């Protein structure tokens, strides 16, 4: 029984994935090892037409664990459509999204459900970001985000109250890449729900393994945020982009100092360089989206395409 005295609710666990053969096996393994009742977890996989071994790894891992799931394709329509599909097909009162480069702690779902059951005004609870150690670049990038976990916003590992998602109109199916999570969070908050971090539910994130991969990802984020800006027609949002850019050097220096104090790594002071390069890549993606017209002409609060 939950703390509110009712039977544990069904939880839909969604994985939206594309070409993630390097990380998806460990991700699925942590999903199958959750302490939350397996009979009360509804699993949905949405594949983005992967061309590598991703699907085979998923199917093999689930078969080995003797766990059933439903597998769909997003037909190359993008991440907004994939997440929307999970929510529309969900059987659970809650929807937990887990990205392919994430590993959950064994009681992650349990801790998140307990948190949501005892905080009825919360529409989404983000788990506590923890860095999965890798090479020096990925570790420095990851540990910077770990130290700033209270600022972390994203669907890497987050539980949504399904009612909050439905109130907000679900994920925007017109979003082909990044920023589908920020868009959903903004609309959930506009419906009066709270978005918060549950520090008692940690997860581990594997950052990109090379500088090129990291910058490619940041470019993708910038591309997605261009759409978000035009959808919201908000000067405040653009000002936030500018502030985060102008503040990235002092903020990254602060993080570098914290990492050095705790780890005593001389390489910690490469963190500001990574942040500056990441922001340049981000703005490169933003400009690329502008030139491509991605988001141009969209109306605020436009009815989502089903």
Place of tokens 């008692």: 200
Helices vs strands, H then E, count in the chain = 11, 8
Structure tokens at 6: 């009712």
| Domain topology for 11-209 | Spore Coat Polysaccharide Biosynthesis Protein SpsA; Chain A (3.90.550)
Q: Where are the alpha helices (DSSP H) in the chain?
A: 24-32, 54-64, 79-89, 108-117, 136-147, 162-167, 180-190, 211-232, 235-246, 248-263, 271-292
Partners of 161 in the β-ladder: 94
Q: What's residue 7's pLDDT?
A: 67
pLDDT in tens, 222-268: 999 999 999 988 778 889 899 999 999 999 999 999 889 988 889 99
Between 5 and 232, where is the model more confident?
Answer: 232
Structure-token match 């085979």, residue found: 56
Residue 96 and residue 158 in contact, taking contact as beta carbons nearer than 8 Å: yes
Strand 194-205, strand 122-131: pairing = parallel
State the pLDDT at residue 70: 94
Residue pair 41/11 in contact (Cβ under 8 Å)? The answer is yes
Average pLDDT, the chain: 90
Q: Are 74 and 114 in contact (CB under 8 A)?
A: no
Residue spans of the domains in the chain: they are 11-209, 214-292
Q: What percent of the chain has pLDDT over 90?
A: 73
**Bridge partners of residue 202, in order along the sequence:** 128
CA gap 107, 203 in Å, rounded: 10
The 10s digit of each residue's pLDDT in 205-219 is: 998 889 999 999 999
- Rounded to two decimals, the pTM is 0.89
The C-alpha atoms of residue 41 and residue 63 are separated, in whole angstroms, by 16
pLDDT at residue 291 in the model:
96
Q: Does residue 276 surpass a pLDDT of 80?
A: yes
Top mean-pLDDT range of 6-15, 90-99, 176-185, 235-244: 90-99
- Residue entry with tokens 């994939």: 82
pLDDT tens for each residue of 68-120: 899 999 998 999 999 999 999 999 999 999 999 999 999 999 999 999 999 99
Helix axes 211-232, 271-292, angle to 10 degrees: 50
The pLDDT of residue 152:
56
Question: Residue 247: left (phi > 0), alpha (psi -120 to 50), or beta?
Answer: alpha
CA distances from 159 to 109, 115, 200 (A): 8, 10, 13
Question: With 90 as the cut, is the pLDDT of residue 157 above it?
Answer: yes
Local confidence band at 299 (pLDDT 50, 70, 90 cut-offs): low
Please report which confidence band the pLDDT of residue 150 belongs to, taking 50, 70 and 90 as the band edges. Answer: low
Quick check: 134 pLDDT over 90?
no
What SS3 class is residue 281?
helix
């Amino acid at each position: 029984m939950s703390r509110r005295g009712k039977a544990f609710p069904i939880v839909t666990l969604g994985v939206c994935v594309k070409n993630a053969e390097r990380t998806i096996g460990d991700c699925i393994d942590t999903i199958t090892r959750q302490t939350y009742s397996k009979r009360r977890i509804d699993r949905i996989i949405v594949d983005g037409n992967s061309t590598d071994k991703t699907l085979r790894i998923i199917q093999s891992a689930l078969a080995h664990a003797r766990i059933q799931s439903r597998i769909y394709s997003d037909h190359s329509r993008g991440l907004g459509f994939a997440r929307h599909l999970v929510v529309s097909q969900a059987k659970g009162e809650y929807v937990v999204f887990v990205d392919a480069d994430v590993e959950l702690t064994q009681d992650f779902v349990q801790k998140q459900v307990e948190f949501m059951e005892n905080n009825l005004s919360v529409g989404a609870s983000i788990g506590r970001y923890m860095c999965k150690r890798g090479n020096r670049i990925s570790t420095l990038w990851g540990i910077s985000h770990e130290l700033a976990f209270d600022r972390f916003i994203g669907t890497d590992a987050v539980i949504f109250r399904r009612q909050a998602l439905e109130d907000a109109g679900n994920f925007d199916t017109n979003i082909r890449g990044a920023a589908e999570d920020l868009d959903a969070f903004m609309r959930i908050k506009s419906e009066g729900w709270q978005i918060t971090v549950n520090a008692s539910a940690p997860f581990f994130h594997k950052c990109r393994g090379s500088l090129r991969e990291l910058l490619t990802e940041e470019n993708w984020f910038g591309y997605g945020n261009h759409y978000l800006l035009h959808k919201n027609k908000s000067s405040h949002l653009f000002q936030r982009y500018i502030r985060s850019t102008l503040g990235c050097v002092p903020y990254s220096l602060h993080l570098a100092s914290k990492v050095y104090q705790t780890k005593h790594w001389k390489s910690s002071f490469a963190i500001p360089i990574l942040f500056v390069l990441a922001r340049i890549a981000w703005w490169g993606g933003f400009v690329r989206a502008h030139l491509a017209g991605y988001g141009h002409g969209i109306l605020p609060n436009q009815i989502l395409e089903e």
